[in-house]
């Protein structure tokens, strides 16, 4: 598991989910899901394609509405917030989308400045520059500030994506398949960065991944979705040591 875990505060759930249901027409995706994410913790969510992992983090970020159940983020019930309150809560949540979703026609600097327009009161030019420079330094890309996304490698784009979510200093990070499509070495660099981010920014994170190397290196706890619920939850060893069929399949297909 993680090499240098920060303190996890088990008295303080930054995300608390109870009895969560979400369907699309006749497709039942989440069916009675419960989850606690504690302050300082990294939880890794595993599950087959289509099992509802991305839907789950979109619900946490208030981008989708639950059919039933409650989601509390930083003590607030997401579903009950006014649009303005939800907007404020979203500032506390960094969402790294699948793919990096950078704006291709903007430079790295412009991509990073974009979220800062949400800052109120507005930042001065000097403050914006300092904020951009700080996050770029922290993801090791200060020299690429004036490049276009097309000039960056897959791993560098991912770093800029992470920098963009960090620029508003979120309390919670939601990573959707952060190492997908990256070669093993770049992937390992991103894993290191995720753990560094946790240390530097004191975030709590939900990390969706199919990559068990990433799961093992970043997760304090793993949770496996089967049939719309978490069927297994615990340390890497606890999830994979048992005879659970879905967990076994996951393990076997990762390490053949």
Interacting residues toward ligand ADP by CB under 6 A: 24, 27, 29, 47, 49-55
| DSSP H helical ranges for 53-178 | 53-60, 83-90, 108-113, 125-138, 154-166
Report, in Å, the least distance between residue 18 CB and ligand ADP.
Answer: 19
* Smaller CB separation from Mg ion, 51 or 144: 51
Q: What distance in Å separates the CA atoms of residue 192 and residue 73, rounded to the nearest whole number?
A: 26
* Nearest to Mg ion of 54, 144 (CB atom): 54
C-alpha separations of 131 from 48, 109, 124 in Å = 38, 10, 11
Counting DSSP H helices and E strands in the chain, the numbers are 9, 10
Interacting partner of 190 out of Mg ion, ligand ADP, none (Cβ under 5 to 8 A depending on kind): none
Residues 64 and 251: their CA atoms lie apart, in Å, by 31
Q: Cβ 24 to ligand ADP, closest distance in Å?
A: 3
> Per-residue string for binding with Mg ion, 40-59, x by CB under 5 A?
--------------x-----
Residue with Cβ nearer ligand ADP (24 or 103): 24
Other CB atoms within a 10 A radius of the CB of residue 94 amount to: 26
Cβ 98 to Mg ion, closest distance in Å? 6
Residue 47 binding: pick among ligand ADP, Mg ion, none (C-beta 5-8 Å cut-off by kind)? ligand ADP
Which residue carries 């899901």 as its tokens?
A: 33
The site for Mg ion (CB under 5 A) is made up of 54
């Amino acid at each position: 598991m993680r090499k240098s875990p920060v303190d996890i505060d088990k008295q303080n759930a930054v995300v608390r989910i109870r009895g969560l249901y979400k369907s699309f027409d006749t497709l039942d995706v989440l069916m009675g899901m419960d989850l606690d994410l504690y302050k300082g913790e990294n939880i890794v969510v595993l599950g087959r394609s289509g099992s509802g992992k991305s839907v789950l983090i979109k619900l946490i970020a208030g981008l989708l509405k639950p059919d039933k159940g409650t989601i509390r983020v930083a003590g607030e019930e997401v579903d009950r917030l006014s649009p303005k309150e939800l907007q404020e809560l979203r500032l506390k949540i960094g969402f790294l989308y699948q793919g990096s979703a950078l704006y291709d026609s903007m430079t790295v600097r412009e991509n990073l400045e974009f979220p800062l327009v949400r800052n109120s009161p507005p930042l001065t030019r000097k403050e914006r520059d300092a904020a951009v420079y700080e996050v770029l330094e922290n993801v090791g890309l200060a020299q690429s500030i004036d490049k276009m996304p097309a000039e960056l490698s897959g791993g560098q784009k991912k770093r800029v994506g992470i920098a963009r979510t960090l620029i508003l200093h979120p309390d919670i990070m939601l990573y959707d398949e952060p190492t997908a499509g990256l070669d093993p070495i770049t992937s390992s660099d991103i894993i290191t960065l995720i753990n560094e981010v946790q240390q530097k920014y004191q975030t709590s994170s939900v990390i969706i991944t199919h990559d068990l190397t990433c799961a093992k290196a970043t997760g304090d706890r793993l949770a496996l979705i089967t049939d719309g619920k978490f069927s297994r939850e615990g340390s890497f060893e606890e999830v994979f040591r048992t005879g659970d069929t879905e967990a076994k399949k996951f393990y076997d297909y990762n390490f053949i």
